[in-house]
Structure 1
Amino acid sequence: MNKERLSYLRLQYLSGNITARELSELKSLVNDPNLDAEFSDLAEEVWMAPDSDVQPMTAEEANKIYLQVTSVVQQKRPVRLWRRLTVAASVILIAGSGLYFLLNKQNSGFKATSVYAADAAPGKVGATLTLANGKQIALSNASKGELAKEAGVMITKQADGKLVYEVAAGANDHKVNTLATARGETYQVRLSDGTMVWLNADSKLTYAASLNGNKGQQERRVKLEGEAYFEVTKNKNSPFIVETGGQEVQVLGTHFNINSYADEPVATTTLLEGSVRVAAGKAGQSVIISPGQQAINRQGSLKVAQANLEQVMDWKQGDFYLNHVNFKTAMRKIARWYNVEVVYDASVSDITEAGGWISRNKKLSEILQSIEATEQVHFKVEGRKVIVFK
């Protein structure tokens, strides 16, 4: 399939002369992930062409398209491309791994906002710190500066909001602290050994204040529920171990991400730098992964695969990367960040795929409108419940 054929089908659609067979062909091509580059080139040609065949739009119509396109398509080219949106095509065809828009002045596909009347703001920086004595500190409300100090360990909240542990010389505090994010929260902590941890929404990290554990300096051990990204301080004499449900991840000093949500069918450990050993199951199966690889734990059975790092690290970068992601998996991500419940009509298939790249800084309504533009699903919001149907 060449770009000339794609251009022909687009022009047929624009002119209103496209046949039913050609329209079916166009839709099937849009959903072919192998043609992403061709569609991207075609879209750019439409935007940048000095003698475009497109019709001018009103500011309101251009703004609608701008909202949908910018909230879904990963855009790394200069902003000058978006100037074309003020005189955008009456039909803009954008394909990105199955995500497309067919928008025109008569039928833009932009859904009425009434179904999104109960909107939700994006998540925020926040967490709850529980000290060993049971005292709880809501970090989003806590003032900057010292929060607690005992047994030679000082806990402070820095100007950037990060939680920092500092250990005095000779301190060996085995008391356990817990840092927990609710749905719609994310937080960053620097542990007492210098290790940096970013917690995603609805996650919990449990650790000794001095990070020595009951075995002294022999190991650094933490427990994780949910998802976190670690940048572990190197210490060849003290391995860093992350316990999650049914597995242990051991490193000496490296960068990696663990997704171990209870409602996900598998737990994944993805390595960005260094080396990681993952052990799981009663039989003690273990694997060692290299940068760019992922250990997938399905009920104690491990396998190693190449990872899509953009998809894995999207949450830390402030995005939802949805290309070739199972739709219900994508909606679980969205539900955690916006603290909503997702309910599916029986008509929604388990094998539907999402597509695109959407900022986590958008309101929920903008996220849902962008997904809805694919014409694969529709949404209705009732309070904090999102109903999905065909």
Structure 2
Amino acid sequence: MAIKNEHIIKLAAKWEAGTISEAEQLELDNWYREHQDEPIKVPESVAASEYDHQVKIWNAIQDQIQVKPVRLWPRIAAAASIVLAIGAGIFFYANQSKKDVVQTATYTKDVVPGTAGATLTLANGKKIRLTDAGNGELAIESGVVVTKSADGQLVYTVRGDVAVDPATSGENVHKIRNVLSTERGETYMVVLPDQSKVWLNAASSLIYNTNMNISKERVVSLEGEAYFEVAKDKSRPFVVISKGQEVEVLGTHFNVNGYEDELATATTLLEGSVKVSAGDVKQILKPGQQAKSAGNTINVSRADVETVMDWKNGDFFLNRVDFRTAMRKIARWYNVEVVYDKSVPIDIESSGYISRTNNLSAVLKLIEKSGQVHFRIEDRRIFVSK
């Protein structure tokens, strides 16, 4: 079945969260109509009784499709669960009643999601809160104009009509460094002087030379996580230095996760080729591979790109993700502290797919549906219990 599996799952999750658009709703409805006659293939791990129940639900969905060709989902919202026959398996999506939610979660005060925002620190030490700054020109440094675009992005432009300060020319040109930093609950995108694009995740910072358009080597330092789309330049490598790892490229797309509270630094390649170094160890990655380094070791494996790139795509993709890793992602975006009861196991996994534009309670309710943990929100703290 030639279907974008993860895309359909994502649409189903958006419907569950109530964030699906009309166009996406129509796409989902059309998918059901198109594939309603295909047999359901069930994984061996699914019990026969559960399979019988899911087939009944699937048949009910088909009946709804035949009666009304569009806007099907609101008519079956009361179903106990929704089954999507996708490829070689079935994706089960539980739908709890409001009563169930009240029984499993306590939210004395909800938390709104993060937003676009960052602080730019210029070479002279001046700090500019980009969230508060108006659109247009922000600063001029050594022939480079820094502007905030109408869509809220930071853009560096080399202009020939701008005079270069003698104090920042010659040998000093490489000392003109800017720092772009995000707090917990913030994310931001910057177009560097060489026209490379960088998206910063929450609680991250990027240090870069404002004259990297003319420097022999393009070098940036990263703390936290960022996604890079590097402008191609065969004569000048682009180097990202992060926690215990160095990534060298000539022009490609990749993600680097180097948060201090993660056990390893992970570089995931989406397009092109990169060389990853940790100490004296070096590895060349192919698209779809991930390199994790801790100390002087590098482990290369097949990447779960959907999980890696969820933040950049505006989502939380939490299926089969280590629970505490997932909670660290959530904590950074909502700027909250997570407090674990000693009853919570170490080795459990989270589940669910939901937009990062939702309030915190919606994300926690999705995770709770697994039945493995319960949450309580008090101010900006999440209490987790078994």
Q: Which residue of 1 aligns with 2:378?
A: 382
Q: Is the 8 A contact 1:205 1:224 kept in 2?
A: yes
Structure 2 residue corresponding to 1:167, chosen from 158, 169, 172: 158
Deviations 1:236-259 (A, max 9, x none): 111000000111100000010000
> 5 Å matches for 1:156-235?
156-169=147-160, 173-174=173-174, 175-211=176-212, 217-235=215-233
Q: Which residue of 1 aligns with 2:18?
A: none
1:207 maps to a residue whose letter is Y
Q: CA deviation at 1:85?
A: 3.1
Q: Which residue of 2 aligns with 1:266?
A: 264
Q: Does 1:317 align with 2:318?
A: no
Deviations 1:254-304 (A, max 9, x none): 0100001000111110111111000002xx100000111111112331011
Structure 1 residue corresponding to 2:350, chosen from 348, 354, 360: 354
Q: CA deviation at 1:380?
A: 0.9
Kindly tell me: are residues 346 and 98 of structure 1, through their superposed partners in 2, closer, same or farther at Cα, counting changes over 3 Å? farther
Q: Which residue of 2 aligns with 1:28?
A: none
2:277 maps to a residue whose letter is A
Distance 1:166 1:337 in 2: 30
Kindly tell me: are residues 97 and 180 of structure 1, through their superposed partners in 2, closer, same or farther at Cα, counting changes over 3 Å? farther
1:221 maps to a residue whose letter is V
Q: Is the 8 A contact 2:43 2:90 kept in 1?
A: no
Kindly tell me: are residues 51 and 250 of structure 1, through their superposed partners in 2, closer, same or farther at Cα, counting changes over 3 Å? closer
Q: CA deviation at 1:383?
A: 1.1
Kindly tell me: are residues 11 and 277 of structure 1, through their superposed partners in 2, closer, same or farther at Cα, counting changes over 3 Å? closer
Q: Does 1:85 align with 2:76?
A: yes
Structure 2 residue corresponding to 1:365, chosen from 361, 373, 377: 361
Distance 2:56 2:43 in 1: 9
Unaligned 5+ runs, structure 1: 14-38, 53-77
Distance 2:219 2:43 in 1: 58
Structure 2 residue corresponding to 1:9, chosen from 29, 40, 49: 49
Kindly tell me: are residues 162 and 50 of structure 1, through their superposed partners in 2, closer, same or farther at Cα, counting changes over 3 Å? closer
Deviations 1:46-105 (A, max 9, x none): 4333499xxxxxxxxxxxxxxxxxxxxxxxxx983423335x32x22559999753746x
1:277 maps to a residue whose letter is K
Structure 2 residue corresponding to 1:239, chosen from 237, 240, 255: 237
Q: Is the 8 A contact 1:47 1:84 kept in 2?
A: no
Q: Does 1:101 align with 2:94?
A: yes
Distance 2:299 2:60 in 1: 44
Kindly tell me: are residues 79 and 381 of structure 1, through their superposed partners in 2, closer, same or farther at Cα, counting changes over 3 Å? farther
Distance 1:285 1:239 in 2: 19
Q: CA deviation at 1:211?
A: 1.7
1:139 maps to a residue whose letter is L
2:204 maps to a residue whose letter is S
Q: Does 1:300 align with 2:340?
A: no
Aligned-pair identity in percent equals: 50
2:259 maps to a residue whose letter is Y
Q: Which residue of 2 aligns with 1:58?
A: none
Q: Is the 8 A contact 2:240 2:247 kept in 1?
A: yes
> 5 Å matches for 1:333-352?
333-352=329-348
- TM-score, structure 1 length as denominator? 0.77
Q: CA deviation at 1:4?
A: 11
> 5 Å matches for 1:42-81?
44-50=58-64, 80-81=71-72
Q: Which residue of 2 aligns with 1:115?
A: 106
Deviations 1:17-45 (A, max 9, x none): xxxxxxxxxxxxxxxxxxxxxx7x87654
1:326 maps to a residue whose letter is D
Kindly tell me: are residues 97 and 183 of structure 1, through their superposed partners in 2, closer, same or farther at Cα, counting changes over 3 Å? farther
Structure 2 residue corresponding to 1:127, chosen from 115, 118, 121: 118
Distance 1:134 1:300 in 2: 35
Q: CA deviation at 1:10?
A: 4.2
2:62 maps to a residue whose letter is M
Distance 2:302 2:198 in 1: 23
Query: Equivalent residue of 1:259, what SS?
Result: strand
- TM-score, structure 2 length as denominator? 0.78
Report the aligned-residue RMSD. Answer: 2.9
Distance 1:51 1:210 in 2: 59
Deviations 1:113-157 (A, max 9, x none): 982121110000000000011111000110000000122111000
Query: Equivalent residue of 2:348, what SS?
Result: coil
Query: Equivalent residue of 2:350, what SS?
Result: coil
Kindly tell me: are residues 208 and 103 of structure 1, through their superposed partners in 2, closer, same or farther at Cα, counting changes over 3 Å? closer
Q: Does 1:148 align with 2:134?
A: no
Q: CA deviation at 1:168?
A: 3.0
Query: Equivalent residue of 1:80, what SS?
Result: coil
Q: CA deviation at 1:217?
A: 2.6
2:201 maps to a residue whose letter is N
